[in-house]
């Protein structure tokens, strides 16, 4: 039996909070404990914003230490995926398995860094609302915008609940993150890569590259979902996740 890792740690996307993972917590399979920490400065976190991925990763390690968790299935969506990869660089021994959802291994290019600098200026001057205006069209897929417009209100509420300092700090961290492609061949734990087929921010090609780079990984493409595939298609996403966890339990 799979004796370690019956804890799943799920790290949220930018610029949201741990409430993003509610559909998966509600669908957690029997025998598994889901933990969804707030990244520093976001949601209910009282910590100051971390301005590097390594800083965020260390805070996740602190959560594991505080709860007496030696190893866990650790994963994240988008920015949470970046933190997951940074955490693996720091402490690979804490992973029993990995989940990478709607994320990528590459660092920002010059155009992406320039866009992030503009976002820092905007959020510092005007707060999170303009960030929501800019990001919402890209966070959700075409099907969600057409058939599930209420999701946009939920996502906007999560964005606007965060402070301008948290958002600006996270943008700095993403802008300065390392290229994780050299890490991929060294990931030796079972890994699930998930992506919405309609994701325009980290499209399926990015997930296919993760899948190709991580030996033995599984790739699940989620129909009718964009960048926030777990809330856009919660049943499909949770089926992929829970099937993966079931295989771990039986191995």
Q: How confident is the model at residue 43 (pLDDT cuts 50, 70, 90)?
A: confident
Single pTM value for the model: 0.95
Question: Predicted confidence band at 126 (pLDDT cuts at 50, 70, 90)?
Answer: very high
pLDDT of 238 strictly over 70: yes
All structural domains of the chain with their residue ranges: 7-250
- pLDDT tens digits, one per residue of 176-227: 999 999 999 999 999 999 999 999 999 999 999 999 999 999 999 999 999 9
Task: Please determine, for residue 140, whether its predicted confidence score (pLDDT) is greater than 80.
Answer: yes
Which residues neighbour 150 within 8 Å (Cβ) at sequence distance 6 or greater? none
Angle between helix 79-90 and 53-66 (nearest 10): 70
Average pLDDT along the chain: 95
Q: What is the pLDDT of residues 58-116, one digit of tens each?
A: 999 999 999 999 999 999 999 999 999 999 999 999 999 999 999 999 999 999 999 99
| Domain spanning 7-250, CATH architecture | 3-Layer(aba) Sandwich (3.40)
């Amino acid at each position: 039996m799979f004796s370690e890792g019956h804890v799943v740690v799920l790290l949220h996307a930018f610029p949201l909070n741990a409430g993003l993972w509610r559909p998966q917590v509600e669908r957690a399979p029997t025998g598994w404990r889901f933990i969804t920490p707030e990244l520093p400065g976001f949601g209910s976190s009282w910590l100051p914003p971390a301005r590097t991925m390594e800083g965020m990763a260390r805070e996740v390690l602190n959560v594991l230490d505080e709860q007496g968790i030696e190893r866990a299935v650790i994963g994240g969506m988008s920015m949470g995926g970046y933190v997951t990869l940074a955490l693996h660089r720091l402490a690979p021994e804490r992973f029993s398995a990995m989940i990478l959802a709607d994320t990528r291994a590459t660092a920002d290019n010059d155009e992406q860094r320039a866009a992030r600098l503009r976002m820092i200026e905007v959020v510092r001057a005007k707060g999170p609302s303009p960030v929501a205006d800019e990001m919402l069209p890209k966070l959700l897929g075409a099907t969600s915008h057409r058939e599930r417009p209420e999701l946009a209100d939920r996502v906007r509420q999560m964005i606007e609940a965060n402070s301008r300092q948290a958002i600006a700090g996270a943008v700095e961290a993403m802008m300065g993150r390392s290229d994780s492609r050299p890490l991929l061949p060294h990931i030796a734990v079972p890994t699930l890569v998930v992506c919405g087929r309609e994701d325009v921010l980290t499209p399926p090609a990015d997930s296919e590259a993760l899948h190709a780079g991580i030996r033995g990984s599984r790739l699940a493409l989620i129909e009718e979902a964009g960048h926030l595939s777990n809330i856009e298609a919660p049943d499909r996403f949770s089926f992929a996740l829970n099937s993966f966890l079931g295989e771990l339990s039986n191995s």
